[in-house]
């Protein structure tokens, strides 16, 4: 079963700024984007797969502008020790870049 954590989007940042901020935050914390696409289930969404170097595990991030929602997903078969710490750093970097407190 997948684990999902919402990314609070309380700032008045535009959807374009939120998307750019996620891209920049991924680089800020030293993660690598291995896939950037859209999910059919969430039309117009932006979906990233990020990894920590060559280590196993994948952290997924989805931003859905239509609903102004963003969240992290960790699939049960893609868990790894690095994910929790990097997810927290990434959350802080995203919120800082979009102007959330």
- Cα separations (Å) of 95 from 18, 69, 77, 78, 79? 9, 13, 28, 25, 24
Model confidence at 100, pLDDT cuts 50, 70, 90, reads confident
Tell me the whole-structure pTM to 2 decimals. 0.94
Residue-wise pLDDT tens digits, 37-62: 999 999 999 999 999 999 999 999 99
DSSP 8-state secondary structure symbol assigned to residue 31 = -
CATH at residue 84: 3.30.160
Q: How many domains does the chain have?
A: 1
Q: What is the pLDDT of residue 101?
A: 62
- Print the domain residue range for 62: 3-98
Residue 88 has a pLDDT of: 96
């Amino acid at each position: 079963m997948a684990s999902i954590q919402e990314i609070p989007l309380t700032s008045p940042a535009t959807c374009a700024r939120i998307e750019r901020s996620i891209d920049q935050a991924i680089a800020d914390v030293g993660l690598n984007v291995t896939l950037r696409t859209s999910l059919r289930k969430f039309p117009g969404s932006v979906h990233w797969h990020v990894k920590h170097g060559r280590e196993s595990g994948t952290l997924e991030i989805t931003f859905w502008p239509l609903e102004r929602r963003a969240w992290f997903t960790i699939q049960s078969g893609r868990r790894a020790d690095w994910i929790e710490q990097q997810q927290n750093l990434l959350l802080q970097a995203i919120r800082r870049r979009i102007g959330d407190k």
